[in-house]
Amino acid sequence: FFYKKLIKKLLTFIIICNRGNFYDYKEGKMRKKRTSVVHRICTLVGSLFCFILIPLLLINCTLMIKSITNKNEVPDIGGIFPMVILTDSMNPQLASGDLVICRKVNAKNIKTGDVICFYDPAGNGTATVTHRVTEIITDETGALAWITKGDANNTEDEKPVRSENLAGIYCWRLPGLGNTAMFMQSTKGILLCVVCPLLLMAAYDKSCDLRQKKEKEKSTEALLAELDVLRAEREEKSGLKGECKL
């Protein structure tokens, strides 16, 4: 339901340009009102704003909901999930503040040289690390595991990474967008990037509905006035015909 409301707002901005049309009862056809340059610019900016904002809101809200409902897994959409790089251990390929896109894969498909995202076996169980696989091994139980290392580090990671700790494999990066993503998940970011835009869209949509209602009332009044004129002309013609017969 929430997503349907957001999509409705997007469609509202897309079709708002057509709301300038009105029916001319005198000419019997649709005509287009002259709109100001400011109105056209605002409409264009609003449409572009929604095209950018709505997908970000959908992705952000989905990831937030999944992170709350399933705290033991990295939230994803169709097996794809973003991660924020917090250190420079993978320089020069990845830098602190980058947003990386990863995807879930079968552990058996991981090869030496792949950059993987995994739950740090030396951490608290929830921290994730994105490092390169330097060697494929089996642990003391005979299970699949990997030796990993950051490109900028001098030594390999302290503990091998077991297949059950694999989150996904690195696909590509968006330089510097990690800081923006982290801000959008903060309280201020949610208020600024989610709550405020929704309130603005709701207010704008309401104002458009009110304006459309007023235009409809004016069109109705114009139609009634036209009908009164036609009725008066008809009565006048009827009166003239009656006088001619007499």
Can you read off the two tokens belonging to residue 199?
A: 């309130």
Lowest mean pLDDT among 48-52, 125-129, 154-158: 48-52
Termini Cα distance of the chain: 72
Query: How far apart (Å, rounded) are the C-alpha atoms in residues 9 and 12?
Result: 5
Q: How deeply is 83 buried, as exposed, middle or buried, from its count of CB atoms within 10 A (0-12, 13-18, 19+)? A: buried
- pLDDT for 219-241, tens place per residue? 788 777 877 777 777 777 776 55
Q: Which residues pair with 99 in a beta bridge?
A: 84, 174
Cβ contacts of residue 143 below 8 Å, gap of 6+?
Answer: 162, 163, 164
Q: What is the pLDDT of residue 165?
A: 92
- pLDDT for 90-122, tens place per residue? 999 999 999 999 999 999 999 999 999 999 988
Q: How deeply is 95 buried, as exposed, middle or buried, from its count of CB atoms within 10 A (0-12, 13-18, 19+)? A: middle
Mean pLDDT, all residues of the chain: 77
DSSP secondary structure letter of residue 130 = E
Query: How far apart (Å, rounded) are the C-alpha atoms in residues 109 and 122?
Result: 24
Can you read off the two tokens belonging to residue 79?
A: 């097996």
How are beta strands 144-149 and 29-32 bridged, if at all?
Answer: unpaired
Lowest mean pLDDT among 52-66, 78-92, 107-121, 135-149: 52-66
Q: Which of 10-19, 154-163, 199-208 has the highest mean pLDDT?
A: 154-163
pTM of the predicted model, to two decimals? Answer: 0.60
Asked if residues 129 and 146 have their Cβ atoms less than 8 Å apart, the reply is: no
Give the angle 5-9-14 at the CA atoms, nearest 5°: 145
